[in-house]
Amino acid sequence: MITISRLAFDYPDGTRALDGIDLYIGQGESIGIVGSNGAGKSTLVSHLNGWFLPQTGSVRIAGLDAGRKHVEAVRKKTGLVFQKPDDQLFMARIYDDVMFGPSNLGMEEAESRAEAERLLRMFGLWELRDKPPAHLSQGQKRFAALAAVLVMKPELLVMDEPTSDLDPRNRRMLIGLVNGLHVTKLTVSHDLDFIWETCQRVCIMNKGKIIADGPTKDILSDQGLLEANGLELPLRLQGE
């Protein structure tokens, strides 16, 4: 599903955000990307739907080069849930936000409306469907943004800090939802317990490089490796 080769990216001020990334993710895998602030995680995932285009190296999604030529086709396959829901919700009603993608991709309207209703009901947002996003709590905005992505039935779901602003009950609901999705999933998060529960494999990033890549429990139980890269053990392991 994802093949990244020697990907490098510099911001206009000269900051090197990605420094020769190589990464392969098979179809149906669930991968966690972790690292301290500034490690390059969000810059990496912004390349997976053409938000950023490779400056050096290449990114392929489901066999398509994620460059300018195929960017629209790549965006149909990749659902990116932004770190800040306010960057994703911009319509007058949250229902319009959820339907924006299907409408612009030319998806079948009746089916999309049925799926939008199903998702909004599941997230407890159906009664709020005519509200402006500004009238929702941050947690409600997060689920509305997720619904706006899932309604398009992406083959690849990319989530950037998905548990921010979620209370314990809604966090648990999200874990169940993510584990029930039969798509390729890539999650960037500082919530290592969420990564532990939803990901089969973890990559640690530091200074724009992938430092370690392996099974979740092996990577997240290695205290020395985590601390060397600005991380701590998941809370579930800190008492052991």
Q: Provide the 10 A C-beta neighbour count for residue 172.
A: 12
Residue 240: which pLDDT band, with cuts at 50, 70 and 90? low
Q: What are phi and psi of 179, to 5 degrees?
A: -70, -20
DSSP 8-class letter at 29? -
pLDDT, tens digit, 9 for 90 and up, residues 96-107: 999 998 888 778
Q: Is residue 67 part of a domain?
A: no
Beta strands in 13-163 (DSSP E): 16-25, 30-34, 56-61, 64-65, 78-81, 156-160
* Alpha carbon distance 133, 91 (integer Å): 8
For the cut 80, the answer to whether the pLDDT of residue 117 exceeds it is yes
pLDDT, tens digit, 9 for 90 and up, residues 195-220: 999 999 999 999 999 999 999 999 99
Q: Is residue 21 part of a domain?
A: no
Q: Is residue 189 part of a domain?
A: yes
CATH classification at residue 98? 3.40.50.300
Q: Is residue 240 part of a domain?
A: no
pLDDT, tens digit, 9 for 90 and up, residues 162-186: 998 888 988 998 999 999 989 999 9
> Among residues 167, 165, 89, 70, which one has the least CA distance to residue 128?
89
User: How many domains does the chain contain in total?
Assistant: 1
- The boundaries of the domain holding residue 152 are 30-50+72-231
Q: Is residue 7 part of a domain?
A: no
Q: Is residue 138 part of a domain?
A: yes
* Alpha carbon distance 240, 237 (integer Å): 5
Question: Do the beta carbons of residue 100 and residue 155 sit within 8 Å?
Answer: no
Q: Is residue 219 part of a domain?
A: yes
pLDDT, tens digit, 9 for 90 and up, residues 8-19: 999 999 899 999
What was the pLDDT predicted at 212? 97
* Alpha carbon distance 190, 103 (integer Å): 34
Q: Is residue 58 part of a domain?
A: no
